[in-house]
Amino acid sequence: MADPLRPARSSSYRPDIDGLRAIAVLAVIAFHFGIATHWSRSGFIGVDVFFVLSGYLITQILLPTTTQPRFLVSFYQRRVRRILPALVVVLAATTVAGLLLLLPSELAALGKHTFGGSFFIANLLYWNEAGYFDAAAVTKPLLHLWSLGIEEQFYLCWPLMLWFVIRRHISPVWAVAGIGLLSFAYSVGASTIDPTTAFYSPLSRAWELAAGAMIAIGPWRGTKLDTKHVRQLASWVGAVLLAVSLLTLSSDQPWPGLAAALPVAATSLLIFGGLEQGLISRTLSLKPLVWVGLISYPLYLWHWPLWSMYTVVLGHSAENVAKAALLAATFALAIATYFLIERPFRFGGLPGRKAVSLLAATACVGLVGAGLWATNGGTQAPGVSASSGGAPAVAAQFLPWPYYQNQTCLRRYPDPLVATYGWWFCVTSQDKPPTLILLGNSLSNQYYPGIANNAAFSNQVVLSIGDCAVQTQEMPPSTNPCSGSKQTEQQEFLHSLITHNPSLRFAILSGLFGDPSPQQLQDLRDQLTFLLQHGVTPIVFYPHLQPTFDIHSCIARPILPAQSDCSLPVSARSTLDSQFASTVDLIHSEFPSVRVFDPNDVFCSSTDCNYLKDGVPLIRDNTHISAYGSDLAGQAFAKWAAVNEPEMVASGTGAS
């Protein structure tokens, strides 16, 4: 009986390559699903294995054909029929699932990523999104397509490079070696200086593909390395290096970089060694591994959307039973996709028509994604009033925060630091000097709309600028806009700004730590002393109570009810009060003229604390309040100021 998973074989088919594919995809799935974490903690290297395999296979296909007429047409037809059938099905299915399961803000993000996946720029979109305010990786159902974006960009450039090299009679060995060495040097440098760029940039991944390409070119042929014993030794060394990679490397390391040379070298040696039959190549050619390798592409495509959607919708990671179900669903969908979609399009007649229809279908799915992106998941544009209620008001709280990168602020306060900071906030007037400044990080800036848009503060010119906390904290390099010396630099900039703006009368300090260290208390003491010495009245905001659940779990989805009631016991507020007591004691004992405002009355009653009001969320993520929450906090602050700082509020506004 014919093997139902047997590929369409050619004389150059190597089952050990499919075995390597199986190891790579199983490692990635185990890493993402958290299966057997004691050995799968380095499963992310499976992507690097895929890159090397792609470099080898694509170069092996191209080298004999670059002198043939229409070789590019033939190559791209084959790539389209290989990549797009499964991809367009997964993109379409994920979009449909998103329409049924996701909130508008999540659906808008999915639409953006569907567009990127359809037009081969997924890695560039994720690269552009990366930053402190970026959403968690698990909330992006198509995040894994970043690697496919890099491969697709390789497919666009590599054939042209080989054609040029061969046409100009340049040695492919030297050309590929030069590209690989330059890319490797860039990767090592970028992974240290800018890990995000290194991770998503095709320039920092090209050396991995070039390593596989070099094996396809075969510079060792006809040399003393072209022997059975050398190839068998290479297989054993490659197997050992791959095992060491899987057992020792960590996702905490900058990647790719010097450490990535280990799995890349391992894969290259296994490809080279597999040219000779031996124990390692026979092991990789075992039927179970080959079968998994044959469906490795749809396995990779399906596993992450299933895992991500589960986590997003239920608000927590899967337990063991759910993991098993997700794993089974991944394999079932992959097998169905392989038989029903991939093989019929990949093999058989009418290759040109198939390629055109696949390109058209992929473009259509991408344009649907673009529509969801452009319409904020099918809701109204930003700025919907929360008082209008309903789904549009809920969706508006999760839309991209509009209160940053304010051009008025940038023009008035130009500074070289702006280029290196993750965000830079606002000023309400381009004609008048500031009178009220918000000091702190995003937990201070979040109050800007509630104050700036409140009529009670119409007599103030509100300035919210900067991104670092009033109190210092340890931050690893390159992971936060306030890492390294940036916090000190911003502090110096703000002190200079306050010194040279005698118009400033009030300063709100927010984003303080609930349980401060002695050093952080000293930071607050220094800041209050500086402000008072310069005639500025400080007002300290309590930290707002932060939820222990995902706010999205409180909102009903199109076909699912809310998973949480969005409340915390009132004892949580008491705990925060006790933690913040050392800060309040310092203020009362050393700075009796400084007042403290507690915004938690917006969230809490005498019985509980709730993050929904009239069905509209008061927070936009697990850290920051929403625009609606900011409006309510601004109203509460206006009433407080009318009693405690009457000079701050405009007369006749009814704030009192």
pLDDT digits (tens, 9 = 90+) for 361-410: 999 999 999 999 988 887 654 444 444 456 678 878 887 777 776 777 77
Check whether 99 has a pLDDT greater than 90.
yes
pLDDT digits (tens, 9 = 90+) for 534-551: 999 999 999 999 888 888
User: How many CA atoms, within 13 angstroms, populate the side-chain half-sphere of residue 462?
Assistant: 27
Strand partners, 439: 509
Any idea where the domains of the chain sit in the sequence?
Answer: 15-374, 386-648
* 98 neighbors 141 (Cβ within 8 angstroms): yes
- How far is residue 284 from each of residues 52, 213, 265, measured CA to CA in Å? 16, 21, 17
Report pLDDT for 39: 57
Report pLDDT for 19: 96
Residue 358 has a CB neighbour count (10 Å cut-off) of 19
pLDDT digits (tens, 9 = 90+) for 47-63: 999 999 999 999 999 98
Which of 389, 395, 425, 391 has the alpha carbon at shortest distance from 407?
A: 425
Which of 144, 155, 146 has the alpha carbon at shortest distance from 55?
A: 155
pLDDT: which is higher, 518 or 22: 22
Question: Which tokens is 216 given?
Answer: 């396809």
Q: Which of 133-137, 285-289, 420-424 has the lowest mean pLDDT?
A: 420-424
CA distance 533 to 525: 12
* 49 neighbors 23 (Cβ within 8 angstroms): yes
Mean pLDDT value across residues 314-342: 91
The DSSP secondary-structure symbol of 29 reads H
Report pLDDT for 174: 93
CA distance 424 to 439: 12
Helix (H, G, I), strand (E, B) or coil at 42: coil
* 455 neighbors 653 (Cβ within 8 angstroms): yes
Strand partners, 427: 463
Report pLDDT for 656: 46
Question: Which tokens is 440 given?
Answer: 């702190």
CA distance 271 to 284: 11
CB proximity list for 614: less than 8 A, separation 6 or greater: 386, 389
- The reported pTM is 0.84
CB proximity list for 374: less than 8 A, separation 6 or greater: 111
Which amino acid belongs to residue 533? Q
Report pLDDT for 429: 84
Check whether 479 has a pLDDT greater than 80.
no
Mean pLDDT value across residues 251-275: 91
**Class in CATH terms, 386-648:** alpha beta
Check whether 36 has a pLDDT greater than 80.
no
Mean pLDDT value across residues 496-500: 89
Report pLDDT for 320: 85
Check whether 424 has a pLDDT greater than 80.
no
Kindly state the percentage of the chain with pLDDT values over 70: 91
* 43 neighbors 27 (Cβ within 8 angstroms): yes
Report pLDDT for 148: 95
Question: Which tokens is 384 given?
Answer: 């919907």
pLDDT digits (tens, 9 = 90+) for 201-258: 999 999 999 999 999 998 888 788 888 899 999 999 999 999 999 988 887 788 888 9
Check whether 140 has a pLDDT greater than 50.
yes
Which amino acid belongs to residue 251? S
Query: How confident is residue 557, by pLDDT bands cut at 50, 70 and 90?
Result: confident
* 326 neighbors 302 (Cβ within 8 angstroms): no
CB proximity list for 41: less than 8 A, separation 6 or greater: 31, 249, 250, 251
pLDDT digits (tens, 9 = 90+) for 349-365: 788 899 999 999 999 99
DSSP sequence for 204-256: GTHHHHHHHHHHHH-TTTTSTT-SHHHHHHHHHHHHHHHHHHHHH--TTS-SS
Query: How confident is residue 9, by pLDDT bands cut at 50, 70 and 90?
Result: very low
CA distance 121 to 130: 15
Helices (H), 510-605: 518-533, 571-590
Report the chain's mean pLDDT, rounded to a whole number. Answer: 87
Residue 383 has a CB neighbour count (10 Å cut-off) of 9
Report pLDDT for 489: 81
Check whether 4 has a pLDDT greater than 70.
no
Report pLDDT for 390: 63
Query: How confident is residue 276, by pLDDT bands cut at 50, 70 and 90?
Result: confident
- Would you give the distance in Å from CA 330 to the centre of its chain? 22
